[in-house]
């Protein structure tokens, strides 16, 4: 008649994990959308709902290294830091120059870019021989 509550919760966690995974995947391409936090949320949801899905995420060729490196405290590869800051600068620079008409809006965008850049640079840098 009615599914067991643990099955419903498991299904909801899988759905939430998949949504976080998609957002994290989009974050790989869009510099203003963080990748690692959403992939970590997906990992938590999968770990609590399905060992199989969690292991799939950890060993996925595109997403697994983000989660594994974070779990092991290895940091972010220098290439990822550079690409993130370059795309962030291009995106916010374009928006500040051509999209946002108000000076205060331009200043806010530039402050966001600086703060996000400092945040990215504050993470440890993953050494190339540590795995990526």
Digits of tens for pLDDT over the chain (132 positions)? Answer: 455 778 999 999 999 999 999 999 998 887 667 788 889 899 999 999 999 999 999 999 999 988 998 888 888 878 778 887 888 899 899 999 999 999 999 999 999 999 989 988 988 888 776 444
CA dihedral over 63, 64, 69, 71, signed as positive or negative: positive
Q: CA-to-CA distance for 43 and 54, rounded, in angstroms?
A: 6
Torsion of CA 23, 25, 26, 28, to 10 degrees: 130
User: What confidence score (pLDDT) does residue 1 get?
Assistant: 46
Q: So where are the chain's domains?
A: 5-71, 76-130
Q: Which tokens sit at 2?
A: 């009615």
Q: Which residue spans within 25-82 are E strands per DSSP?
A: 76-77
User: So what's the pLDDT on residue 129?
Assistant: 62
Residues facing 55 on adjacent strands: none
DSSP code at position 66: H
Cβ count near 93 (within 10 Å): 13
- Give the span between the Cα atoms of 54 and 29, in whole angstroms: 23
Q: What confidence score (pLDDT) does residue 25 get?
A: 92
- Whether this prediction's pTM lies above 0.75 is answered by no
Give, for 3, the enclosing helix (H) or strand (E): none
């Amino acid at each position: 008649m009615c599914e067991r509550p643990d099955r419903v919760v498991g299904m909801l966690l899988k759905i939430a994990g998949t949504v976080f995974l998609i957002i994290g995947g989009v974050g790989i391409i869009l510099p203003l959308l963080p990748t690692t936090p959403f992939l970590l949320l997906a990992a938590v949801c999968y770990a609590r709902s399905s060992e199989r899905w969690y292991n799939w995420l950890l060993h996925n060729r595109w997403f697994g290294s983000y989660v594994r490196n974070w779990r092991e405290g290895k940091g972010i590869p220098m290439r990822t830091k550079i690409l993130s800051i370059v795309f962030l600068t291009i995106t916010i620079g374009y928006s500040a120059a051509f999209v946002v008409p108000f000076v205060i809006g331009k200043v806010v965008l530039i402050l966001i870019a600086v703060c996000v850049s400092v945040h990215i640079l504050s993470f440890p840098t993953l050494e190339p021989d540590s795995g990526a």
